[in-house]
Chains A and B, each alone.
Chain A
Amino acid sequence: MKPALDRIQSEAEDAVRGGCEHIMLTDMAADASRMPIPMILATGAVHSHLVRQQLRTFASVNVQSGECLDVHHFAVLVGVGATTVNAYLAEWTIAERMEKGLLEGLNMPQAVANYKKAIEDGLLKIMAKMGISVIASYRGGYNFEALGLSRSLVAHYFPPMSSRISGLGLNGIEQRLREMHDKAFGGEATLLPVGGLLRYRKSGERHAFDGQMIHAMQHACDTGSFDSWKKYVSIIERQGPVNLRDLLDFKSGGEAVRVEDVESITEIRKRLVSPGISLGALSPEAHETLSIAMNRIGAKSDSGEGGEDPERFSLRENGDNPSSAIKQVASGRFGVTAEYLNNCQELEIKVAQGAKPGEGGQLPGIKVNSIIAKLRHSTPGVTLISPPPHHDIYSIEDLAQLIYDLKQINPEARVCVKLVASTGIGTIAAGVAKAKADTILISGHGGGTGASPQSSIKHAGMPWEIGLSEVHQVLSMNDLRDKVVLRTDGGLKTGRDIVVAAMLGADEYGIGTAALVAMGCIMVRQCHSNTCPVGVCTQRDDLRAKFEGTPEKVVQLFTHVAEEVREILASLGFTSLQEVIGRTDLLSQVSRGDAALDDLDLNPILVQAITDGQRGGDIKAPRVEVPDTLDAQIVKDAESALETGGKMQLSYNIENTQRAIGTRLSSHIVRKFGMTGLSEAQINVRLRGPAGQSLGAFAVQGLRLDVIGDANDYVGKGLSGGMITVRPSNSAGFVAAQNTIIGNTVLYGATAGKLFAAGQAGERLCVRNSGATAIVEGCGSNGCEYMTGGETIILGEVGSNFGAGMTGGMAFIYDEAGTFMDNVNPETLLITRVTTDYWAKHLEGMIETHVAETDSALGKKLLNQWSKVVGHFWHVVPKEVLETLPHPLADDVDLRDAS
């Protein structure tokens, strides 16, 4: 194949030097005597060669490929340099379906256009995950990581791509190609195989969990028989390699010790975690069963991102604790209230998900019933898509800020940051450690429910073995390893997996999918369809009734895992897991009877960064503390109010280095009085000067922060019922309404409360607001994005992309200049003028309150000429909530029908 690639490269070069402007690569001439070169390889070869010759910009590289069928293939072709792609076989397949009459009501051009649209939408999604918005930036960008391709091949044909695990080279590729070619042309014409990539088929691809394993494991967890568990483990061993760790084995060497001398099951189980799977994805029964089970064994369950019913924060009659020990803070911030954040031992910031990096959580509308909607502060039946990024994290400093905020709202909880495995993650993890995270979770691609998009399950994410080893190495080299606890998850399902993970550097281990299986999951993988026949991943009442999981079964799973860990440790001569953490020297690569696998070079994950000193973190260590804020003083001063709930008025001068003011105080209030125990503004804190970041983050009802001055970013982040007013001082020499008085990302993820600002807000105002009311006098771009509840009134201009993905709540915008319609993203919205008395009165009343709270000059002006200005207001309501409005938007026509 090398000569053929050389030839194609030189032909391309000659052609471009000869003035050719378009190069076409095609595999259409493949036949019984000619094998096609994989188009990705050919494209990469031509693109990289032309780049080296400084000729690439003189010609386009167009490919015509029979291999290319799905979005991923298109993305890779473009990513390695293709200018255009023609998937002719895909088109022929469409034509064949057309002939068979399977595409009723479509003609061929329409059908192909639909296919093209699907591919383009998919490409947009893939590019968006990388933060790229135009195809030209994606083309030739090599935004991929190779797994198991020879390093020299990658360096030659796909120069900037990384390939941490080197392996298959041109010869290996050619051999595989030859096998496929022989199959296609050599034998009798047979039916196309049914495959088995996405759903298990006996004749198809191997899957990490097969039927036999599921039954064996469930049997072991139902009966508690450790012999049955060992049968399950032996089925996995017999199955053949699936994961990188299957190519590793323990080195025998040390003298075995007695199993009785190894640390107890109880000690080992404390290191186990059931990772974040949201209530919403899981049925309430399944979610709660996991929590109860993990609490019983002193291990931790993770709430996932969907919030949790406050009813679960207190013990059950039988003493069971149904509250998740870890509460997740994800980009959607669903149900992230001060109360939620105060009922846990650990807070986890989910930066990304192992199974679908670059994407937020997604809960289809059919699963959003009234319970789920209540917990998430959203509308039943409306699909919930969490934004890919956290809108308050655009840098490591932002992450440090969120960690700081969380450590303020909960004075004890450790903070964990969840990252996904990929090459280069070590640097990020070092940053996270320096940002004062206590735990770093490295999530591999093996996890995730069947609800994740199929293209992500198959083509995004990396094995945790790669991410974990790099993080452990980088942290060790930078003297940071003992500052954090490392946790890993993604398909762990045996004690052996745990020991391998320990040797690769992990202190704690997440077992998710296996825990679901123990509760009855049988991998139907219809988690997104709400039809789970065993009641694990559904919200339908009749299906939830089928749930047969119990805490006992889950406890049994973790007990079996721990017991298996003990046996392995004993056989290797160790008495605790701590002793083997980071001991990659105890692992060696083994042959599993496949030449291609033998070619893989696993040394990069087995390298020992340091050979002495501390190897792992300390899971019992206290959390890394952050400096106090002004609240230390406020809490002291408010002692009597916190004692009795009495009214209090406090006053301080502030500087913008004082961050998260009001947050720790809110923690005290919520712990003492709950979310609604105090009435509004019972503790009134007046602040003079510029407030630092995260003013009033997670502030609760009873607290009012009254700022005379201005405030930085993240005002009212996660606002949970508190009230914040910001206005310039009387001596300020500017017109308040024309100046930004509060920074970016205000009220992000707010669930309740009020904000009045006599001045403009920055970018991303009220993103993911689900219940707070805000009145500001103008805002930057992306205002009210993904909003699911609450009310936003803007008495001035808005930036671009206003209201994108807004599915709940409402907004009023005063549009004197007539620019609003150019800036709104109307996809999900109905936009009308305020024509009814009901809404005009409501709006007027709100502005009156704004004036009362902030003395706003603009507010006063508007009220003075109310009848004149009310016609300049727009009323923005998401179509999906029209039916739930207390009053129609127009008196004569019922616009609710417009939905």
Chain B
Amino acid sequence: MSSKMLQFVKTEKQMPEKRTAAERAKDFDEIYADFSKAKAEEQASRCSQCGVPFCQVNCPLHNNIPDWLMLTAENRMQEAYEVSAATNNMPEICGRICPQDRLCEGNCVIEKGFESVTIGAVEKHITETAFENGWVKPAAPAIEREQSVGVIGAGPAGMAAADMLRRRGYQVTIYDRYDRAGGLLIYGIPGFKLEKDIVERRARLLADGGITFKLNCNIGTDISFAEIREQHDAVLIATGVYKARDIDLPGAELDGVVPALSYLTASNRKSLGDEVAEFDNGMLDAKGKNIVVIGGGDTAMDCVRTAIRQEANSVTCLYRRNKANMPGSQREVANAEEEGVDFQWLSAPQEFTGSDKVEAVLAQRIHLGQPDETGRQVPQIIEDSTYELKADLVIKALGFDPEDLPTMFNEPALRVSKWGTVAIDWKSMMTDLPGVFAAGDIVRGASLVVWGVRDGRDAAERIDAYIQAELRGETKAAG
């Protein structure tokens, strides 16, 4: 079985070719090339085929990574694709944007000293090969079921759930308030990490498989939540979390202090060829400006790197902890550094200054104190350390919170947690409302795409079980 495998002792790790920072700055295309077939086979053969594969253990989807690595190394690409797609509804997307360095690759047992297998790049290669060869097919359910499910939100969780339910023969409608499907995949994540046609291709597959998309559809205004419940046997809330976490500092209300998502969406829309007034009038365009991004997560990295591509004059990232403590993927931080972002670690904004629009950020230096109960060191401001950064555009990338769904949906009975996330029964994934399920960021808070896919798949399974139990007449009160 392993004749071709276990090559890590001889063969070095190699990532697909990465374009130079200078080249990258010129466009919004992805920065990694695809592996050549030979390279993918070679790199896949480095897998140690572990008895306990920690890559799988630490993959939210529990992808059977060693198996498709082996199949790739043996040039059995169609089988590799089938195994890969069996546990993942969008492997080509996860292969590109998963923070592998914190999940599969970060836990690869040969990582220590040999550097991990390039799992993400191989995953991408497998699925792209499958697309090229026409192996990727829309859902073709063996039986058609009458029962229907409404999915609110066309992001990763919603799409994964819809796909799984459709494969089981359910009639599925996805509602989304944007004009394109994909959620954060389409408008949140920049093209240099995930080119937009990749997302559109996946959404098209779902549509081709018989899933109905109702886009530009706001729940509560275009259609009421009650109506959706009426129309479907079950409803899945997978709206994601969109409310930008705000910053309560003097000057925060100034023009030019903007939330990350507005900035990223504008940029993505431009890439897709849309007219965007706020960009065209220069407000959300970084060109020639001094940009300060506040935050240290993946969204902050997306912002700084977008600004570089928009030919900003300078791009500075303020983060109150140090590099080792950044929540984002280290690989993205490294890419941003390469591209010329100035990272100001251990710095926090104190005040935004300017007359009518922002002109500068006053920041303070931070010292990391004793760890709190979560084990993270608490940032403490160093007295008299204030310094000034010139800023024409300040982007707040401090994370996202849930919107007020009970109000938006006009459904006060929809119970939410103290953080505003939708409360569900963890076993059934059902909310307090019978037949209404929830999954993804709106339940767990802002998280990774791969967790969204996982939740979507789990929700599909629970919804299926619920509908089947209903059909058998085993109705029971929601837990």
Q: Check if A189 is an interface residue, CB within 8 A of chain B.
A: yes
Q: How far is the CB of A399 from chain B (nearest CB, A)?
A: 35
Say whether B53 contacts A199, CB under 8 Å: yes
Q: Which residues of B contact A207 (CB under 8 A)?
A: 52
* A:176-214 near B, CB below 8 Å: 188-191, 194, 198-203, 207, 209-212, 214
Report the stretch among B109-117, B118-126, B207-215, B368-376 that lies at the interface: B109-117
Judge whether B76 and A214 touch: CB under 8 Å.
no
- Contact across chains for A524 and B112 when beta carbons are under 8 A apart: no
Q: Which residues of B contact A201 (CB under 8 A)?
A: 53, 56, 62, 64, 67
Q: Given the complex, which residues of A lie within 8 Å of B66, measured CB to CB?
A: 199
Contacts of A190 in B (CB 8 A): 86
B82 in the interface (beta carbon within 8 A): yes
Given known A189-B142, A194-B64, A531-B6, contact A523–B76 (CB-CB < 8 A) = no
Option from B48, B57, B58, B87 in Cβ contact (under 8 Å) with A533 = B48
**Any chain B CB within 8 A of the CB of A459?**
no
**Is B273 engaged at the interface, CB distance under 8 Å to the other chain?**
no
List chain A residues, Cβ under 8 A from B2: 526, 529
Report if B141 contacts A (CB, 8 A).
Answer: yes
Given A191-B86, A210-B57, A531–B112 Cβ distance below 8 Å? no
Say yes or no: A202 contacts B56, CB within 8 Å: yes
Q: How far is the CA of A479 from the CA of B367 in the complex (A)?
A: 73
State the CA gap A450–B62 with chains docked (Å).
23
With contacts A188-B168, A194-B64, A526-B49 taken as known, whether A533 is within 8 angstroms of B83 at the C-beta atoms is: no
Interface residues of A in 265-283 (CB under 8 A from B): none
Known: A194-B64, A533-B114. A211 touches B52 (CB 8 A): yes
Report chain A residues within 8 Å CB of B109: 522, 524, 533-534
Per the 8 Å Cβ criterion, residues 515-544 of A in contact with B are 522-526, 529, 531, 533-534, 540, 542-543
8 Å CB contacts to A: which residues of B152-168? 167-168
Residues of chain B within 8 A (CB-CB) of A189 are: 142
Judged by DSSP, the binding face of B is: loop
B167 CB contacts on chain A under 8 angstroms: 188
Residue A868 interfacial (CB < 8 Å): no
**Contacting pair A199 B83 (CB below 8 A):** no
Q: How many Å lie between the Cα of A562 and that of B214 in the bound state?
A: 63
B437 within 8 A of A: no
- B134 neighbours in A (Cβ, 8 Å): none
Of A100, A191, A210, A531, which contacts B82 at CB under 8 A? A191
Question: Any chain B CB within 8 A of the CB of A546?
Answer: yes
- Give the B interface residue count (CB, 8 A): 35
A102 on the B face (CB < 8 A): yes
B86 close to A531 (CB less than 8 A): no
CB–CB A542/B52 < 8 A: no
A102 touches B50 (CB 8 A): no
Complex CA–CA separation, A202 to B74 (angstroms) = 23
Tally of contact residues, A, Cβ under 8 A: 33
> Once the chains are docked, how many angstroms separate the CA of A103 from the CA of B392?
64
The secondary-structure label for the interface of chain A is loop
Q: Which of B48, B74, B82, B142 contacts A524 (CB 8 A)?
A: B48
Cross-chain contact B8 with A531 (CB below 8 angstroms): yes
Q: Is the CB of B9 closer than 8 A to any CB of chain A?
A: yes
Residues on B with beta carbons closer than 8 Å to the beta carbon of A214: 52
A199-B110 contact given A191-B86, A194-B67, CB 8 Å threshold: no
The verdict on B282 contacting chain A, using a C-beta distance below 8 Å, is no
In the complex, what residue of chain B is closest to A212 when comparing beta carbons?
Answer: B57
Contacts of A450 in B (CB 8 A): 51
Residues of chain B lying within 8 A (CB to CB) of residue A202: 56-57, 62
Across the interface, do A203 and B57 meet the contact criterion of CB distance under 8 Å? Answer: no
Bound-complex Cα distance A191 to B67 (A): 13
CB-CB under 8 A from B409, the residues of chain A are none
**What CA separation (Å) do A739 and B128 show in the bound complex?**
78
Q: Does B242 contact A (CB under 8 A)?
A: no
Could you say which residues of chain A place their CB within 8 Å of the CB of B112?
Answer: 533-534, 546
Interface assignment of B54: CB less than 8 Å from any CB of chain A: yes
- A-B contact list, 19 entries, CB within 8 Å: A100-B76, A102-B74, A102-B76, A188-B142, A191-B86, A202-B57, A203-B62, A203-B87, A210-B52, A211-B52, A211-B57, A211-B58, A212-B57, A522-B54, A524-B109, A526-B6, A526-B49, A526-B50, A529-B6
**Told that A194-B64, A522-B109, A526-B50 touch, could you supply 18 new A-B pairs with CB distance under 8 A?**
A102-B74, A188-B143, A188-B168, A188-B169, A199-B49, A199-B51, A199-B53, A200-B56, A202-B62, A203-B64, A212-B57, A214-B52, A524-B52, A525-B50, A531-B8, A531-B48, A533-B114, A546-B112
What are the nearest 5 A-B pairs in CB distance? Answer: A525-B51, A211-B57, A202-B62, A523-B52, A523-B51
